[in-house]
Structure 1
């Protein structure tokens, strides 16, 4: 086992494994379009974005297990009306046939959003994914108000891409999410990418609302530090929020090896206790089925 093997962190920290709340599995035709986007991302944002783990689905699942990942998600998201129910059906089937996958669902401001969100919760969804940048919608859309209420009452966490990185959207940034939380303060929101690049604003929201968490996806890595460096002055706040930071990776759509995310967290110098919480304990607390060995 080498320093480039994620299992080295598991062994050294004495944790059962990793809980990664931000991994992508989706229908192959949708994933192909996502990969095509990243293949052309150089002209769009000025950055090359090679996909490190461009593998078949079974191999991607096997790789996560080889990395020591005990539980992971199938983050997927609609970009147009009527797409969410189909994605939810696919994700439910994927979780049922994939040990270790937390049953993931999504939503969009559809006229039937309340019905399919209720159905997803009743069917055992453990986590939702919302992507305000790709979806291009306001989380405060009136068609979603009942859905947020259902999710809030069920205490199902929501991984939400609401920061303005790598490129801003009409409804990204802390404003729309802040208004959502003012109306639904008990929501368990997991802010993807630490809210990159509006790190300070999303730290503020995390301190203000006890249900808000942050995921580490791509933050602190060499790649992201080039265009959205995390402010060093905020590291003490990050240390204090140690119970509400969760490991996220963006696997397989990352332009570097999986272990680099773990090294990037370690070099923050926040200590082994902080690392244990982020890599395993906080995820196991938010998703009790992980420690119980029931991941679907």
Structure 2
């Protein structure tokens, strides 16, 4: 019998310099990363300060790519990341419109970045989401944990409805890692999907740490996807290990798992995220789908 690992011939990258050879060996034109962060400098500084505080918990989180914006862009392009996102998120009312304006300008001057937008539960949300879609937004970000909001809030019903109707994907951080929020977890977001079954949601971090529950949710909802951000890496395995018995189910969801990394905020190399995917042993076809083809198909709409 052929094992899963026998189907993986691509050599896992040992460091970032190996990454182009990794995707070339899979016959890909490059990578598509649906979970990268670009945001206004003052906001990004606060995000980095949050991760710096992890050292106080005994789990240091050293941001690996703490560089200026231009260098971060250059690094992604050198690695062969052909399309990426500018994941950003508000934590208070009246902040999303400002962030969306910044992101629209960033997308205009960064053609390889998918035009990204965000939202917050507030009376104006439906209107500014419609404006963002009309302006060309291709993907949205919702961060239930940082925003501290309930995704079932009636103020968000017009938002989810517009995203579902327009078939615009939204990357949603609603798992309870790295720290639980008041409204995180699969049961809460399952109610959103029940109200808006055509919503194309991409669950960030494979739903960490509720991996099994979010896998089950994806198995019930054909438009639900998951991104790999920080999942399977040594850092995450030490905190929220992936249950080995779930790995075979990832093969069945081959067409709905997307590469995400959390660049630049990761405490490990970009190469390590790719190596972590390769060591799952799910085969070259699975790696091709996850690292490029699934996202290419999703954003070809």
Post-superposition Cα deviations, 1:63-114, rounded to whole Å, max 9, x if no partner, equal: 0000100000000000001100000000000000002100000010011001
| Equivalent position SS for 2:239 | coil
CA distance in 1, matches of 2:139, 2:300: 12
* 1:284 equivalent in alignment to 2:296: yes
CA distance in 1, matches of 2:73, 2:60: 25
CA distance in 2, matches of 1:22, 1:233: 26
CA distance in 2, matches of 1:135, 1:156: 21
Gaps in structure 1 of 5+ consecutive residues: 290-296
| Equivalent position SS for 1:40 | helix
What residue in structure 2 maps to residue 15 of structure 1?
28
* 1:217 equivalent in alignment to 2:201: no
TM-score normalized by the length of structure 1: 0.96
What residue in structure 2 maps to residue 189 of structure 1?
201
CA distance in 1, matches of 2:227, 2:92: 25
CA distance in 2, matches of 1:47, 1:130: 26
What residue in structure 2 maps to residue 32 of structure 1?
45
What residue in structure 2 maps to residue 97 of structure 1?
109
What residue in structure 1 maps to residue 90 of structure 2?
78
**Match of residue 62, structure 1, among 74, 80, 91:** 74
CA drift of 1:24 comes to 0.2
Gaps in structure 2 of 5+ consecutive residues: 1-10
| Equivalent position SS for 1:226 | helix
CA distance in 2, matches of 1:35, 1:147: 29
CA distance in 1, matches of 2:255, 2:102: 32
What residue in structure 1 maps to residue 61 of structure 2?
49
User: Residue 107 of structure 2 contacts residue 114 of structure 2 at CA under 8 Å; is this kept in 1?
Assistant: yes
Post-superposition Cα deviations, 1:179-210, rounded to whole Å, max 9, x if no partner, equal: 00000011000000000000000001101011
| Equivalent position SS for 1:280 | helix
Post-superposition Cα deviations, 1:212-254, rounded to whole Å, max 9, x if no partner, equal: 0000000000000001111100111111100000000000000
CA distance in 2, matches of 1:180, 1:42: 35
* 1:138 equivalent in alignment to 2:119: no
What residue in structure 1 maps to residue 134 of structure 2?
122
| Equivalent position SS for 2:43 | helix
| CA root-mean-square deviation | 1.1
CA drift of 1:147 comes to 1.2
Residues paired across the two proteins, number: 288
Q: How does 1:130-279 map to 2 (within 5 A)?
A: 130-279=142-291
